[in-house]
Amino acid sequence: MAKKHEQHQGLEAFARIEHWIFDLDNTLYPRHSNLFEQIDQKMTAYLSRLLGLEADEARKVQKDYYRTYGTTLRGLMIERGITPDDFLDFVHDIDHSVLEPDPKLDEMLAALPGHAYVFTNGTKKHAEAVLDRLGVSTDFQHVFDIVSADLVPKPNGETYDKFLDITGIEPSRAAMFEDLSRNLKVPHERGMLTTLIVPRGTRDIFHEDWEFEGRDDNHVHYVTDHLADFLEDVLAARR
């Protein structure tokens, strides 16, 4: 079978879903496009300049903040007391033209019953640029970004609850799609279906990385390496 999905329950579980919630970076577009790599490198450069560190040392601090606080920005705000605007403007000033339009993803998103949402730790401006490049901007009801979250990132539970309050979504009627296993734990606890997006080909080439991504965690209900194909199968199962 060419399509590479894993599931811990049947796709018929999606029959109840009316709200489709998507992370942005490395979820709506493939990781191999390297768009997020640009952001990652700019975060390193920002820390290097701010802290007066060589790039290697700045990157260590960056990743430590990311693991501890959910985002590098959150770590900088707590540990260094920075204000967010300069950081967000700097790290999201990237070349979005590396993204190609994705007509199949657009078709699948448009066919989903109910409403689709973007829930990202990035900015709305960055999200809109990504959606425009992919050709899917008209498919989404709402973009909930890091500013909407009062700069408290996923995986903090309060951020998911704020998203649910703003959108009025009933979690038992919702499904969330993410490239980070840890960001699916709270959605699972709230009653959503969860799908983990992993890099295409990882299953065959870098099996250890799949384990690192947490595909076998109890809060991960489905795993796929191709979002549009997975949504196609979900829609077929609903017929």
For residue 81, the model assigns a pLDDT of: 92
Token digits for 136? Answer: 């899917």
What pLDDT is stored for residue 7 in this prediction? 67
pLDDT of 10: 85
Give mean pLDDT, residues 66-91. Answer: 92
* pLDDT surpassing 50 at residue 67: yes
The answer to whether 135 and 101 are in contact (CB under 8 A) is yes
Where are the chain's structural domains?
5-29+100-238, 35-91
Helical residues (DSSP H) of 139-226, grouped into ranges:
157-167, 185-190, 202-205, 207-213
Q: Which amino acid is at 151?
A: L
Fold annotation for 35-91? DNA polymerase; domain 1 (1.10.150)
Q: For residue 59, what are the CA distances in angstroms to 55, 143, 196?
A: 6, 29, 26
What is the percent of the chain with per-residue pLDDT over 70, rounded to a whole number?
91
Matching CATH number, 5-29+100-238, of 3.10.129.10, 3.40.50.1000, 3.40.50.300, 3.30.70.2190? 3.40.50.1000
